[in-house]
Amino acid sequence: MNATINLEKHFPVLLNELVSIISPLYGGTFIDCTFGAGGYSKKILENNLNSIIALDRDNSVNSIVNQFHKKYTKRFKFYNKKFSDINQIKEDNIKAIIFDLGYSLNQISDLNRGISFNSKGKLDMRMGLNDFSCDDVISKMNQQSLFKIFKYFGDEKYAKPISKKIVQLRNNKKIKTENLVEIIENIKKKNTGKNKSTKIFQALRIFVNKEITELIYGLINAYNILPIGGLIAVVTFHSIEDKIVKLFFKKLLK
C-alpha cells in the first residue's frame, strides 16, 4: 500500500512542543527516526538551514518520501530502516534525534494490516521489516507464551482464559481478526468504557514489531552517535515505552 496524505492538513502530535525544544539547535542535521507522514520532518525543513535524515521501517511511506525528495532535494535523505540500526548512519553535525513512537494514521486505518481491532481478515500487524506476523504468533505459539505476551505487554487481566481459548479454537479453524475480537468479547463480559480488545491488540502489536527491543537499542544507539551538546527527543505512545524512556534518561543523568 502507498501512503496517501495531504501534507498541508496533517497535524502531528506535540509538534509545537517539539519545536520549542529543538529550535534553539537549528542550523544542522536532524534525524527523524519515525518519518510516518513526514509532519515533523516538514516542520524542521521549513527552516532552510536544516537538513533531515529520516528513517521509517514501513516502506509504504515511499510516496511521501518522493514528494520530500522533490521539494527539499539535498536537504532530505530517507532510509527504510528500523531505528535500532540508527548507528549505521554516518553523519557529522547531528543536532538532535527525534522519535515519535507508535503508529501513523495510515497504518491504523489500513484495515488490511490488521493493526486495529476494527480490521477484518488476516491478523498481520507488521509495521515493516518484521521477522514474523501476528498470524504466526496466534497460530503457532504455545498457550503459556501467549499468556505472557498478553500479561506483560497488555497487562490483560483475562490473559489466561483468552490464551486458552485461542489454543483451543485454532485446532478447528484459522483465527482471523474478527474471531480474536469475538473470543475477547465473549470472555470479558464487563464494560469498562474502553474497547475490550485494546489490551490484547496492544500486546500483540508490541510483540510482533519487537517494540521494546527497538526502543532500547534505538535509544542506546542514538546516544552513541550523538555529538556532545546534541539532543534526543522522544514522544511515547504507551505506558511501557514511557517507563523505558524515563528510566533511560534517569540512568544516563546519574
Binding site for ligand SAM (CB under 6 A): 12, 34, 36-40, 55-58, 82-83, 100, 102-104, 127-128, 214
Closer to ligand SAM by Cβ: residue 154 or 218: 218
Closer to ligand SAM by Cβ: residue 28 or 128: 128
Least Å from the CB of residue 118 to ligand SAM: 18
* Rounded Cα gap, residues 128 and 60, in angstroms: 9
* Rounded Cα gap, residues 52 and 26, in angstroms: 11
- The C-alpha cell that represents 76 in the structure block: 532530505
Closer to ligand SAM by Cβ: residue 34 or 163: 34
Least Å from the CB of residue 193 to ligand SAM: 24
Instruction: State how far the alpha carbon of 51 is from the alpha carbons of 8, 76, 87, 177, 199, in Å.
Output: 20, 6, 18, 41, 38
The burial of 189, by beta-carbon neighbours within 10 Å (0-12 exposed, 13-18 middle, 19 or more buried), is given as exposed
Closer to ligand SAM by Cβ: residue 165 or 205: 205
The secondary structure of residue 158, as a DSSP letter, is T
* Rounded Cα gap, residues 231 and 26, in angstroms: 12
